A and B are shown apart, each in its own frame.
Chain A
Amino acid sequence: METYVILRRNGWPTAEDLEEASVRSAAEGDRTPDDVAWIRSYVLEERDGSVGTVCVYQASSPEAIRRHASAASLPVDEIVKVAGTVIVRPDPAEVTA
Chain B
Amino acid sequence: MSLLEDPRELVPQLVEREHALNELDAAFEQASAGQGRVVLVTAEAGGGKTALIERFCATRVGSARVLRGACDALFTPRPLGPIQDVALEVGPVLTDLLREATPYQVAGALFEGMQRRQPTVLVIEDVHWADKATLDVLTLLARRIATARVLIVLSYREEALEAAHPLRVMLGELSSGLAVARVRLEPLTADGVAQLADPSGVDPDGLHRVTGGNPFFVTEVLASGEQEIPPTIRDAVLARAARLTPAGRRLLEAVSIMTPHAELWLVEALSGEIDARVDECIAAGMLVSENGTVAFRHELARRALEESVTTARRLSLHRRALAALASQRLGEHGLARMAHHADAAGDRAAVLTYAPAAGAHASAVSAHREAADQYARALRYSEGLPLSDVAKLHELRSDECYLSDQADEAIDALRAAVECYRELGDSFKEGETLAGLASTLWCPGRGEEARRTARQAVDLLEQLPPGRELALAHLSLSFVLACALDDEGAWRSARRALELAERLDDPDIYCKVLYRVGRQELRKDSDRGLATIERALALAQGRGLEHLVADAYLARVEAAISAHRPDAARPALEEGLAYCQEKGNELIEHYLLADRALLELDEGRWSDAAETATRVIRRRVASTYPRTIALSVLARVRARRGDPDVLPLLAEARALAESTGELPRLAPVAVAEAEAAWLRGDPESAREATADALTLAVSAGAGDEIACLQVWRKRAGVEEPPEALAAGPYALELDGEAAAATTMWADLGRPYEAALALADIGSEAALREALETLTELGAPAAAAIVSRQLRAIGARDIPRGPRPATRQNSAGLTVREVEILALVVEGLRNREIAQRLFLSPRTVEKHVSAILRKLGARSRGEAVAEAARLALLQDA
Contacting B644 at CB < 8 Å: which of A4, A34, A74? A4
Nearest chain B CB to A24 CB, angstrom units = 9
Nearest chain B CB to A19 CB, angstrom units = 15
Q: Does B611 contact A (CB under 8 A)?
A: yes
Measured between beta carbons, the chain B residues less than 8 angstroms from A76 are 804, 806
Q: Does A61 contact B (CB under 8 A)?
A: yes
Task: Determine the residue in chain A with the shortest Cβ distance to B849.
Answer: A71
State the CA gap A80–B643 with chains docked (Å).
7
Q: Does B638 contact A (CB under 8 A)?
A: yes
Measured between beta carbons, the chain B residues less than 8 angstroms from A14 are none
Q: Which of A68-87 contact B (CB under 8 A)?
A: 70-71, 73-81
Q: Does A41 contact B (CB under 8 A)?
A: no
Is B643 a contact partner of A33 (Cβ separation < 8 A)? no
Measured between beta carbons, the chain A residues less than 8 angstroms from B175 are 32, 34-35
Q: Which of B850-870 contact A (CB under 8 A)?
A: 850, 853-854
Q: Does A46 contact B (CB under 8 A)?
A: no
State the CA gap A39–B314 with chains docked (Å).
52
Q: Which of A23-47 contact B (CB under 8 A)?
A: 31-35
Measured between beta carbons, the chain A residues less than 8 angstroms from B645 are 2, 61-62, 81
Contacting A66 at CB < 8 Å: which of B176, B607, B780? B607
Nearest chain A CB to B867 CB, angstrom units = 15
State the CA gap A34–B181 with chains docked (Å).
11
Measured between beta carbons, the chain B residues less than 8 angstroms from A73 are 806, 812, 853-854
Measured between beta carbons, the chain B residues less than 8 angstroms from A70 are 607, 806, 814, 850
Is B804 a contact partner of A75 (Cβ separation < 8 A)? yes
Is B644 a contact partner of A79 (Cβ separation < 8 A)? yes
Interface centre among B182, B634, B641, B643 (most CB of A within 10 A): B643
Measured between beta carbons, the chain B residues less than 8 angstroms from A4 are 644
Is A62 a contact partner of B638 (Cβ separation < 8 A)? yes
Measured between beta carbons, the chain A residues less than 8 angstroms from B637 are 63
Measured between beta carbons, the chain B residues less than 8 angstroms from A74 are 806
Task: Determine the residue in chain B with the shortest Cβ distance to A24.
Answer: B853
State the CA gap A76–B780 with chains docked (Å).
12
Q: Is the interface of A mostly helix, strand, loop or mixed?
A: mixed
Nearest chain A CB to B156 CB, angstrom units = 13
Nearest chain A CB to B791 CB, angstrom units = 21
Measured between beta carbons, the chain A residues less than 8 angstroms from B641 are 62, 66
Q: Is the interface of B mostly helix, strand, loop or mixed?
A: helix
Nearest chain A CB to B163 CB, angstrom units = 12
Q: Which of B360-413 contact A (CB under 8 A)?
A: none
Measured between beta carbons, the chain B residues less than 8 angstroms from A33 are 182
Measured between beta carbons, the chain B residues less than 8 angstroms from A2 are 645
State the CA gap A11–B807 with chains docked (Å).
8
Task: Determine the residue in chain B with the shortest Cβ distance to A66.
Answer: B607
Task: Determine the residue in chain A with the shortest Cβ distance to B606.
Answer: A66
Measured between beta carbons, the chain A residues less than 8 angstroms from B780 are 78
Is B643 a contact partner of A67 (Cβ separation < 8 A)? no
Measured between beta carbons, the chain B residues less than 8 angstroms from A67 are 176, 607
Q: Does B171 contact A (CB under 8 A)?
A: yes
Is B644 a contact partner of A80 (Cβ separation < 8 A)? yes
Task: Determine the residue in chain B with the shortest Cβ distance to A34.
Answer: B175
Contacting A75 at CB < 8 Å: which of B634, B806, B850? B806
State the CA gap A66–B224 with chains docked (Å).
53
Interface centre among A62, A63, A74, A77 (most CB of B within 10 A): A63
Nearest chain A CB to B450 CB, angstrom units = 33
Q: Which of B774-802 contact A (CB under 8 A)?
A: 780
State the CA gap A71–B813 with chains docked (Å).
10
State the CA gap A2–B641 with chains docked (Å).
18
Q: Does B113 contact A (CB under 8 A)?
A: no
Nearest chain A CB to B178 CB, angstrom units = 8
Nearest chain B CB to A70 CB, angstrom units = 7
Contacting A63 at CB < 8 Å: which of B611, B642, B804, B806? B611
Task: Determine the residue in chain B with the shortest Cβ distance to A5.
Answer: B644
Q: Does B614 contact A (CB under 8 A)?
A: yes
Q: Does B610 contact A (CB under 8 A)?
A: yes
Given contact pairs A34-B172, A62-B645, A66-B607, enumerate 7 new A-B contacts (beta carbons under 8 Å): A33-B182, A61-B614, A62-B638, A63-B614, A73-B806, A73-B854, A75-B806
A and B contact pairs by CB, cutoff 8 A, 24 listed? A31-B178, A32-B175, A62-B638, A62-B643, A63-B607, A63-B610, A63-B611, A63-B614, A63-B637, A66-B610, A66-B641, A67-B176, A70-B607, A71-B853, A73-B806, A73-B853, A75-B812, A76-B804, A76-B806, A78-B642, A78-B780, A79-B642, A81-B644, A81-B645
- 6 A-B pairs closest in CB distance: A81-B644, A62-B643, A73-B812, A63-B610, A75-B804, A79-B643
